[in-house]
Structure 1
Amino acid sequence: MRTNLDVFEEQARRASQQGVQILVFPEDGIHGFNFSRSSISSYLETVPDPRLESWNPCTQPGRYNNTDVLQRLSCMARCYSLYLVANMASLQPCPASTDPPTCPPDGRWQFNTDVVFSSDGQLVARYHKQNLYFEKAFDVPPSPELITFDTPFAGRFGVLTCFDLMFREPAVGLVERGVRQLVYPTAWMNQLPLLAAAQFQRAFSLGAGVTVLAANVRSDVLGMTGSGIFTPASALAHHHSFQGQPEEGRLLVARVPVLDPLWSGAEEEAAGGEVEDVGGDGSFWSVVESRHCKQEENNCLDSMASTPSPSPRPVTSSSPTFHSSMMYDLFTFARLPAVKGQLRVCQGTLCCYLQYRRSQPGGGELYALGAFAGTHTVNGRYALQVCALVRCAGQKATSCGQEVVEAESKMDFVLSGRFETPHVYPSLVVSGVKLEQPRHLDIKPTGTVTMAHSNMAAGLVTACLYGRMYHLDRV
């Protein structure tokens, strides 16, 4: 643990030299993985609620016993004059009035905990992870937490951890309360073609209209990699490592526009920051400008003039459909049969539409358009509506949906669907697990979402509209 904290200290020093104002470290980056409830006990520290008491562990180390990690992190933030976000293991005794069924037998809660320190070392936020992912050492908090903190250089940030990004609370709850900037420690296991770490971080940023500062663990054995700094307008910095590459950390630094609508102009001028217009209406989609073609292109597949019109009626594809498993879900697919054309694939009430033209065909690469409407039940339970254009791993239909990281075929396309949820997260992944910004994104009140792209820098791996049906998660 001390070795990991030494690494944190070195990264904080390097960040400070580059003028960084807020630094986010990964989930589990201090204590590691695979603990039982008892084996993690020596790593647990008491983290008081900063909403109830003011405490600076660096300057007031004697207030609580056994707070070595908190003191070290606090002093890092203070020494290098930056806001610091880290993840650690904490304990909290159950209050005497707690209903016994909600209190563990040992009389205490153990939480996966994010802590935030201000640039003078003050503890300013504490968040207990709500959506655990096979974490036997930790408890789900008695009630969901929506935690924010304020900074002098960018206003308000919300806090969430790893698997939280897949569920309504706290992610959507924070956004619906006007939070436009999120700090996000994670230990995410990559799952292409739809849920690579940086891919979904970017998708949530774009779909929810928020900035995400995401720090992921790097581990070949666990398939963990992928961090980034994302705004709705751009993937400012992101990194994805591959199996066999050195397992060393990567410090990502970027100048980030301020999205907090309540951040004052006086503070902006004092900090030398930038403000990005998010529409001002507080709506979930306010950052997305309807029917906009990036870089004022004239084509966007002929300015969307011939975009297929989504229909709720069950219809068949112009290409024969087949079923194949993708991410443990049984998708309905149709092959892309030619260099250009149109496809329509439906599953249940969801219909997905594709207009495409291969601008640089790859050597026999097979692509397919897939649709899924149902509940994912493997390693988590959550309801989905998904439209996805994917490169298949081989020439057989059964290879569609398997993990692919490289592709040669570049493609101009318009992908759309009519969703029964406003929560749709678009992603575009090209060869080498690089992210590209869609040149057009259109969200209509009817539920129709359209993503268009052209002039790719590399071959297409995945183009996806990932709809979350939060209201059906517990049905």
Structure 2
Amino acid sequence: MITSQLLAYVATSIFCILKVSAVDKFIAAVYEHAVVLPNTSLTPVSCEEALALMKLNLDLLQRAITSAAKQGAHIIVTPEDGIYGWNFTRETIYPYLEDIPDPRENWIPCNDPNRFGHNPVQERLSCLAKNNSIYVVANIGDKKPCNASDPQCPIDGRYQYNTDVVFDSEGKLAARYHKQNLFTSEEHFNSPKRPEVVTFNTTFGKFGIFTCFDILFHDPAVTLVKDFHVDTILFPTAWMNVLPHLSAVEFHSAWAMGLGVNFLAANLHHPLKEMTGSGIYAPDSPRAFHYDMKTEEGKLLLSQLDSHPPRSVVNWSSYARSIEAYSTESQKFKGIVFFDEFTFVELMGVTGNYTVCHRDLCCHLSYKMSEKRSDEVYALGAFDGLHTVEGNYYLQVCTMLKCETTDLETCGDSVETASTRFEMFSLSGTFGTQYVFPEVLLSEVQLAPAEFQVSNDGRLFSLKPTSGPVLTVTLFGRWYEKDGELNTSSDLKAQALG
């Protein structure tokens, strides 16, 4: 009897401990960092000079990390390039790099800093996480030696990786991710031989991580959600805003909604390079976001999120294929959106129903404006094709957007302000892909939380009159299978940790 009672007590205690340790909600933080940049030089600086520059940025990051922890944050994400900046060659970036070990080594740099050589940045980040009892996500550079036995070894005898690291609340290196999809200006880094899928578990959900340009491609971004079932994506980025469809807050919030995950995006703050736009996004709505082209200051954001957000299944073409097209054939014209030629039709009245098609994609729009202004023109556009500038990726896009001027040739140009509000809108398309990202962007590049939703049959529609004038309402589809690249999903290097 005593043994049975003891076993029952132990079992109950374990259950209670597990129940308490796993939480349904957590507080997330992201920091938009005004990075201190190095002097542009064609010759490498000394390791001491590189560390001095990185310490300046780490001091700023420390303030944000400490503030976030005091406000109860469980995890904080900081930006890509946030510790040393950009404009490097392979040689000039080298003094800033450290050798980052495999997280399976179970290493706490703060406790044992010299175990893997001299790594002062990793030690500093580890101590910041440990001393503040918070998960810290940062972006640094990794270096790995190689030799002639490796046929892919660079001529300088080393691999250099754009790398995200995660230190847990005890200061342990919990995750390391090498960026797969490098941007055109990242010739100083190497891509890993295979895409890495990096996840880690916490008491407040399962996390995955990737970096900046990765978001436009299937691997590892979509794989983390579809195959590894993460709850939250961590996203360090150095994102340059491109309107009308690829401003940071617009696209990142849409990705969270389209994939059904939490998304923590930390951008650099450098208005001269169009860099701003960070946010904490849930699948149903943005929870906190920041877009500021006017000041030079960084910004800390915090918000509460569900640890395991619910997901819904959307058939993105169901509604659009069930209705008849509205006749607008005679009104079509062409316009360029970020180097892609869209087919457009002008919205002529205060209210209307329109259809425009490009190749296999037909886009349907119903809308009602608060007023039809004579000084503003809106158009409905469609694009179905391969984008080939700054990367090759296949798009299917339905968009209602404000033209820059009343001249139809400006439809698709970058526009930041508008005056027309909408009483209602409903946008749908005959998409051939299941990966569609719903965007609603208001004047001054602001989001519209809780003002729209997506139905299971693929309609993006308003829930109420818009709180501000509209820049664009868009369904941004990515058809990964048509990118013209080999499918490497079966070769993924999985690093699912802990």
Query: Cα deviation per residue 1:424-454 (whole Å; 9 max; x = unaligned)?
Result: 000100112111245331244xxxx211114
Q: Which residue of 1 aligns with 2:427?
A: 415
Q: Which residue of 2 aligns with 1:464?
A: 474
- Asked if structure 1 preserves the Cα contact closer than 8 Å seen for 2:146 and 2:159, the reply is yes
- Asked if structure 2 preserves the Cα contact closer than 8 Å seen for 1:333 and 1:368, the reply is yes
Pair 1:78-2:78 in alignment? no
Pair 1:125-2:178 in alignment? no
CA distance in structure 1 between the partners assigned to 2:456 and 2:330 by the alignment = 27
Q: Secondary structure at the match of 1:76?
A: helix
1:213-292 aligned within 5 A: 213-242=264-293, 245-259=294-308, 276-278=309-311, 285-286=312-313
Query: Cα deviation per residue 1:225-262 (whole Å; 9 max; x = unaligned)?
Result: 100000011200001112xx221110000011112xxx
Aligned AA (1:159):
I
- Asked if structure 1 preserves the Cα contact closer than 8 Å seen for 2:419 and 2:443, the reply is yes
Unaligned runs of at least 5 residues, structure 2: 1-53, 486-498
Q: Which residue of 2 aligns with 1:403?
A: 414
**Cα 1:363/1:66, change in 2 over 3 Å:** farther
Q: 1:473 aligns with which of 469, 474, 483?
A: 483
1:60-139 aligned within 5 A: 60-94=112-146, 98=150, 100=151, 102-134=152-184, 135-139=186-190
Q: 1:164 aligns with which of 199, 205, 214?
A: 214
**Cα 1:73/1:64, change in 2 over 3 Å:** same
- Asked if structure 1 preserves the Cα contact closer than 8 Å seen for 2:325 and 2:355, the reply is no
Aligned AA (2:168):
S
Unaligned runs of at least 5 residues, structure 1: 260-275, 279-284, 291-306
Q: Which residue of 1 aligns with 2:455?
A: 442
Q: Which has the higher contact order (CA 8 A, sep 6+)?
A: 2
CA distance in structure 2 between the partners assigned to 1:230 and 1:241 by the alignment = 18
Q: Which residue of 2 aligns with 1:54?
A: 106
Give the C-alpha shift of residue 194 in structure 1.
0.3
CA distance in structure 2 between the partners assigned to 1:312 and 1:327 by the alignment = 30
- Asked if structure 2 preserves the Cα contact closer than 8 Å seen for 1:160 and 1:183, the reply is yes
Give the C-alpha shift of residue 92 in structure 1.
1.2
Aligned AA (2:213):
F
- Asked if structure 1 preserves the Cα contact closer than 8 Å seen for 2:325 and 2:364, the reply is no
Q: 1:317 aligns with which of 314, 319, 328?
A: 328
Query: Cα deviation per residue 1:315-340 (whole Å; 9 max; x = unaligned)?
Result: 86256111010111000000001111
CA distance in structure 2 between the partners assigned to 1:418 and 1:347 by the alignment = 11
TM-align CA RMSD: 2.0
Pair 1:195-2:246 in alignment? yes
The number of equivalent residue pairs is 426
Structure with the higher helix share, 1 or 2: 2
Aligned AA (1:192):
L
Give the C-alpha shift of residue 10 in structure 1.
0.7
Give the C-alpha shift of residue 197 in structure 1.
0.5
Query: Cα deviation per residue 1:388-437 (whole Å; 9 max; x = unaligned)?
Result: 00000001111100111111111111111010000000010011211124
Query: Cα deviation per residue 1:111-169 (whole Å; 9 max; x = unaligned)?
Result: 000000001100000000000002011001011000011112x1210000000110000
CA distance in structure 1 between the partners assigned to 2:87 and 2:323 by the alignment = 46
Larger Rg: 2
Q: Which residue of 1 aligns with 2:7?
A: none
Aligned AA (1:441):
V
CA distance in structure 2 between the partners assigned to 1:451 and 1:395 by the alignment = 26
Aligned AA (1:415):
L
Q: 1:20 aligns with which of 61, 73, 80?
A: 73
Give the C-alpha shift of residue 277 in structure 1.
3.2
Q: Which residue of 1 aligns with 2:3?
A: none
Identity %: 43
- Asked if structure 1 preserves the Cα contact closer than 8 Å seen for 2:453 and 2:460, the reply is yes
CA distance in structure 1 between the partners assigned to 2:236 and 2:386 by the alignment = 26
**Cα 1:128/1:308, change in 2 over 3 Å:** closer
* TM-score normalized with structure 2 length: 0.82
CA distance in structure 2 between the partners assigned to 1:60 and 1:2 by the alignment = 20
Q: Secondary structure at the match of 1:46?
A: coil
Give the C-alpha shift of residue 345 in structure 1.
0.4
Pair 1:10-2:63 in alignment? yes
Pair 1:147-2:181 in alignment? no
